[in-house]
Chain A
């Protein structure tokens, strides 16, 4: 015999479609909202996270990536001479002005790095090679910003801060949290493109520690040796940047609130849907009780229904979410669904469905079995 739970769920296709729609809607809503939050959060720090550096030396008081303040190049040598540091590089991150071919200007963030080491350089290259940036006046942009920046072809020449720049490569999926695209170039070029910085200055110093080095100890050593700077590990600088954008700016708070609202609405929709599904069969549960079914038997039927709804709803919901995420990647929204989130969503879906069914179980427990005699 097919289980009662299975039949209750699938016998009436329309009712099942309504239940499934509720669960799927909730899953897609939660995934999209949380995915947007994760997407925006990781976007704020993605250059840091892909830098391949272990430590960041920043001017005193700098809290986030986009707001670096120039420090003297001399500090680079102090960092390089610290035991345990095997490599250190200057790194520029500066807002600048990009002139489109039609004369319009766009704000951009110029990132200058050493193309020989690639530390802090671009990733996900679709056209070109990092070494191409060793040539004078060369830059990489992300494909996503081509239209915004008025770039029609490889080799196109544009102006950044009044200096000539030639497009020699594209990346894919490197977006900034602000509306200003990242422009990757060599440190030397960036001195021209990035305004208000002298040749003997840098914005950041990135350092690579020896394999197995104790980063906390290295931080202390650098703090003692290099004055008037803050030292972050890459993870710390990433978190600090994420914290700044997501929790101290209106845009970040809006995304955070939207994610929380998505979660709450999703939970409520699932709870209501599963509750209604159980209530639809209340009379049958009353009959079961009258026939002598112990409460445990009825609980199992209800929880099985909830688990089956959760599994099917999750599968369909995640498939739809994947499509939404794929579409979003071509648009302006950065929705991310890392695999731990996908796993967590399965747990959340099960918890929501079972939780809602437990609420309805309380109602079933209080059924008067004498209801079966009422017509």
Chain B
């Protein structure tokens, strides 16, 4: 397995001076293609901050971020959207579907962002909704879908751009257990069959069975986990940080 996404010595401090809060304190981790990694920890431990930094949504205070072999730490704000668009798919706890677009159009929108022409986007959108079992919901608006269906549309949308990395924030939190399992099965199949890296932030212990690795985080630090980082990423498959340009940044 090769590294899909990695962070090294990442710190994040919110605000400054006496009000400064350190959300992350030197986090180093990597997730490989074909792997499902759960990021777990108590509230306020820094999970979502780490996910945001991995997703190039938030910039670290220090440290390095590598996405699909490319150091993105030094990229300007203007260049980060392109990295997100090309390499990363997001799944949100609140689904974040566009309420004014149908399920199909929500998926098409992701393709539109990548410049895929309308006809192709439509057929691709149908394929993706078919893949998550929502063929008949193409023309349904999010308001008419159940929570599980909304999350499956969100997964189809995240997959539309064919990203190498899927980052999901509490993807099952708003779902019943059956819908939650369905979503997790889709994500695990995605990792296995399409060799994608899937990183999930969750509090839900029922998802452990779907994980290849559990990364525990507390007080902004990675804690020793039942499946150690070194055990899964080793030797030639270990993330190669040498390619990261160690240029300091803010």
Contacts and interface: CB of A to CB of B under 8 A. Distances in A.
A8 B100 contact: yes
B109 A292 contact: no
B118 A293 contact: no
Nearest to A284: B98
A157 to B, nearest CB: 71
Contacts of A293: 81, 85, 113
A300 to B, nearest CB: 11
A1 B55 contact: no
Interface stretch (B88-96, B217-225, B231-239): B88-96
B100 A292 contact: no
A239 interface: no
Given A290-B90, A292-B81, A372-B92, A297 B113 contact: yes
Interface in B90-143: 90, 92-94, 96, 98-101, 104-105, 108-110, 112-113, 118, 121-122, 141
B8 to A, nearest CB: 21
Interface string A1-30: 110100110011000000000000000000
A224 interface: no
B86 interface: yes
Nearest to B96: A287
A294 B115 CA distance: 12
Interface residues of A, number: 24
Interface residues of B, number: 36
Query: Which secondary structure dominates chain A's binding surface?
Result: helix
Given A292-B113, A373-B93, A4 B101 contact: yes
A24 B167 CA distance: 44
Given A290-B55, A291-B84, A7 B113 contact: no
Contact of A292 (B52, B84, B92, B121): B84
A294 B93 CA distance: 23
Contact of A294 (B51, B52, B81, B90): B81
Nearest to A3: B112
A289 interface: yes
B35 interface: no
Contacts of A288: 113
A1 B108 contact: yes
Nearest to A369: B57
Given A292-B81, A370-B58, A7 B100 contact: yes
27 contacts: A1-B101, A1-B104, A1-B108, A1-B118, A1-B121, A1-B122, A2-B105, A4-B101, A4-B109, A7-B105, A8-B100, A11-B141, A12-B100, A283-B96, A287-B92, A290-B55, A291-B85, A292-B81, A292-B86, A297-B113, A370-B48, A370-B52, A370-B57, A373-B48, A373-B57, A373-B92, A375-B93
Given A284-B99, A292-B84, 7 more contacts: A291-B90, A292-B85, A293-B81, A369-B57, A373-B48, A373-B57, A373-B93
Interface of B: 48, 51-52, 55, 57-58, 78, 81-86, 88, 90, 92-94, 96, 98-101, 104-105, 108-110, 112-113, 118, 121-122, 141, 161, 169
Interface of A: 1-2, 4, 7-8, 11-12, 283-284, 287-295, 297, 369-370, 372-373, 375
